[in-house]
Amino acid sequence: MSLSCGAAVAMLDQEIRNDRLRQEAAMEPDAVPTTPPAKQTQIIAIYGKGGIGKSFTLANLSYMMAQRNKKVLLIGCDPKSDTTSLLFGGRACPTILETSAKKKLAGDPVQIGDVCFKRDGVFAMELGGPEVGRGCGGRGIIHGFELLEKLGFHEWDFDYVLLDFLGDVVCGGFGLPIARDMCQKVIVVGSNDLQSLYVANNVCSAVEYFRKLGGNVGVAGLVINKDDGTGEAQAFANAAGIPVLAAIPAHDDIRRKSASYEIIGRPGGDWSGVFDELAHNVAEAPPIRPKPLSHDGLLSLFKSEQTGGDYRLIPATSADMNQKTQSTKKTLEVIYDSV
């Protein structure tokens, strides 16, 4: 039986495709690459209680990293916009949100030189935020990162990008790096006090929560600031399964120099060893899945007389809530018996 012209052409096309498939199957696979991988930017989010010393730690850490020939970008994500003040000798740099608003009114685009400034190899900028009572700081963070993306954030060539976040604010914008896998790892800054470790533990809880949802961010470790040697922060790190990256002592020389906007994370300085160790450990520490403590577990790190940990909750009763206490009130009013 003879084939039609169309059927013959179809058979020929199928044979050609089969031949191509056989040729592809016979090809040897590409060799496994043995060259070093291309540089990947480490994006690290630093969290801690307000006032615990994140900005101080980050300014000196970023400076030391730059002196180790690393290209570093420091981004302040605190509405107070004080992350870069120590780096720039107390000067406040224009924030991204404020600059964007002014440029938009003028009909001009934001340029990188409007919001990013540098010192001795460290590049730094502030996202900014609303004034008190005039907006949501978390929304400001989200909007700020949207502007950064328009400026080319994902194409920038840095060894490290350090993000300074408040840890005691729980709205969504401040959890952005953890919730959206915007960073590879988190560092918490704490001290030997209950409130800062409470915040550090909350951050560990957030990391663990998003890991259960399929996230990839881990905790690189704890930086102990103002370390007085009492050991509670070290005990917390041990219990949470995270390393201590450095312990910055509670020393008057550090306090005075920090208050006068002096960088102490300099090679050859009195405190260079602390920040050189911190820079090394931050670079090498892998992201770890932490083991957050229960509230009682956190309290157990401290002596009961420090925290009131020996107190037991006494439940209230309905009678407590409704009973009115009768009391005799003294008065000068003369009351006559009714006739």
Longest pairwise C-alpha distance within the chain:
134
Q: Which residues contact 107 (CB under 8 A, 6 or more apart)?
A: none
- 218-227, strands of its sheet edge to edge: 117-119, 122-126, 72-76, 160-166, 42-48, 185-190, 218-227, 244-249
Q: Which residues contact 152 (CB under 8 A, 6 or more apart)?
A: 112
Catalytic residue among 82, 114, 159, 168: 168
Catalytic residue among 54, 185, 226, 257: 54
- CA count, 13 A, side-chain hemisphere, 102: 10
Does 310 qualify as catalytic in the annotation?
A: no
Residue 45: DSSP 8-state? E
Does 80 qualify as catalytic in the annotation?
A: yes
Does 49 qualify as catalytic in the annotation?
A: yes
SS3 287: coil
Catalytic residue among 80, 114, 181, 193: 80
Structure tokens that stand for 294 in this block: 């229960």
Q: Which residue has the tokens 């840890």?
A: 167
Closest Cα to residue 195, out of 245, 232, 237?
232
Cβ(222)–Cβ(200) below 8 Å: yes
E-strand ranges in 24-154 read 42-48, 72-76, 117-119, 122-126
Q: Which residues contact 286 (CB under 8 A, 6 or more apart)?
A: 185, 218, 220
Q: Which residues are catalytic?
A: 49, 54, 80, 168
